[in-house]
């Protein structure tokens, strides 16, 4: 699912096959969204070259935590522009204590807003269950889109307002 973190609206949804990685579905998710994108945020499964390329092509800031064994691009003279934000994140995390640097990177990039989609998924599962009722792939896709529409409609009716104390 692709969600706008500001208003928690689901912008696009794609059914995934169990044997494929989440990062493989970023391009169709993003291509279904019209308009400008400020930031693309995902978990470590999106730390793939193609995911950074998708963000670069759309002019969005990629925020995907590099994997623990990640290294910067090797070619000093011809670096791929789409991967420069990844290189910067890796260099930042290697600049000191990895855990401290990772926490600093998360604060710096607003990575914690990614938890909003986890909360929305939890809300969707508590409302509709965590299994699809249909066995047919096309019907499952329709079921997913209906669920997304219902969640968006509920969000339009009003979301709770939280304030840090």
User: SS3 of 95, please?
Assistant: coil
For residue 20, is pLDDT > 80?
no
**What's the rounded Cα separation, in Å, for the pair 52 and 101?**
21
**What's the rounded Cα separation, in Å, for the pair 62 and 34?**
18
**What's the rounded Cα separation, in Å, for the pair 98 and 146?**
42
What local confidence, expressed as pLDDT, does residue 113 receive? Answer: 86
Q: Which residues pair with 62 in a beta bridge?
A: 40
**What's the rounded Cα separation, in Å, for the pair 125 and 131?**
8
Backbone angles phi, psi at 8, to 5 degrees: 60, 25
Taking 3-state DSSP, the helix, strand and coil percentages for the chain, each rounded to the nearest 5, stand at 55, 5, 40
* Mean pLDDT rounded to a whole number for the chain: 88
Which residue from 131, 59, 65, 132 is spatially nearest to 92, judged by alpha carbons? Answer: 65
- Tokens, residue 39: 């930031």
For residue 57, is pLDDT > 90?
yes
Residue with tokens 């991967």: 83
Q: Which of 54-63, 77-86, 108-117 has the highest mean pLDDT?
A: 54-63
For residue 93, is pLDDT > 90?
no
What local confidence, expressed as pLDDT, does residue 62 receive? Answer: 94
Across 88-102, average pLDDT: 86
For residue 163, is pLDDT > 90?
no
User: SS3 of 61, please?
Assistant: strand
What local confidence, expressed as pLDDT, does residue 121 receive? Answer: 86
**pLDDT > 90 in the chain, percent:** 35
């Amino acid at each position: 699912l692709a969600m706008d973190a500001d208003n928690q609206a689901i912008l696009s949804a794609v059914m995934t096959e169990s044997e494929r990685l989440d990062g493989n579905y970023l391009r169709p998710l993003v291509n279904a969204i019209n308009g400008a994108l400020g930031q693309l945020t995902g978990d470590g499964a999106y730390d793939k070259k193609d995911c950074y390329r998708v963000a670069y092509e759309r002019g969005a800031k990629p925020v995907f935590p590099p994997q623990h064994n990640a290294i910067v691009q090797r070619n000093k003279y011809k670096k791929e522009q789409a991967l420069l934000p990844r290189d910067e994140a890796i260099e930042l995390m290697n600049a000191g204590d990895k855990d401290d640097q990772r926490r600093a990177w998360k604060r710096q990039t607003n990575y914690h807003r990614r938890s909003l989609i986890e909360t929305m998924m939890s809300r969707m599962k508590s409302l509709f269950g965590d299994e699809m009722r249909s066995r047919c792939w096309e019907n499952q896709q329709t079921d997913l889109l209906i669920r997304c529409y219902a969640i968006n409609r509920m969000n339009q009716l009003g979301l709770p307002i939280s304030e840090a104390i």
